[in-house]
Amino acid sequence: MSQVYQPVMLMELLKNNGEASVAQIAQAILDKDPTQIEYFSEIVKNMVGKVLTKNRGTTEKSGNTYSLIGASELSTEQVNELIKLCKTAINDFEAKRGDTVWQHRKRGHRPISGSVRYEVLSRAKF
């Protein structure tokens, strides 16, 4: 994948005056990897979206688009407060679980590439 990863890294460096953090470069590579979009699209459809739509009645789905029920009736302040509450919920969860929050994504210290992960999930029908 050096034919993709190296140019992506160089573009990220060039866009940032010759410097970029590892996280910025990794994000740029992630943004370019269609298998990651497909992987997380399946998570949205089969897990997150299903719970918020069918189980909780918080969202509606039309084709490939989700809508938050009642979103148009919220003020800017209410939207900001709800975003703040969501961030607090995430922070509380991460604080409670500590370093174990993302441990299930690790295999030793070497990450599994997105393409390998996608192939395994694809064969297992996600």
* Segment-wise mean pLDDT, segments of 10 residues, the chain, 126 residues: 87 94 94 87 92 95 94 95 94 87 68 80 86
Determine the pLDDT at residue 107.
59
69 shares its domain with 7: no
Residues 98 and 53 reside in one and the same domain: yes
pLDDT at 111: 66
Shared domain for 56 and 103, answered yes or no, is yes
Query: 111 and 57, same structural domain?
Result: yes
β-bridge mates for residue 120, sequence order: none
Q: How many domains does the chain have?
A: 2
Q: What is the pLDDT of residue 101?
A: 79
Are residues 25 and 6 in contact, defined by beta-carbon separation less than 8 angstroms?
Answer: no
**Are residues 43 and 26 both part of a single domain?**
no
Residues 28 and 43 in one domain: no
Q: Range of 22's domain?
A: 1-32
Whether residues 23 and 67 fall in one domain? no
Residues 38 and 18 in one domain: no
User: Is the domain of 74 the same as that of 20?
Assistant: no
Same domain membership, residue 15 and residue 41: no
Is residue 50 domain-shared with residue 109, that is, in the same domain? yes
Do 70 and 112 lie in one domain? The reply is yes
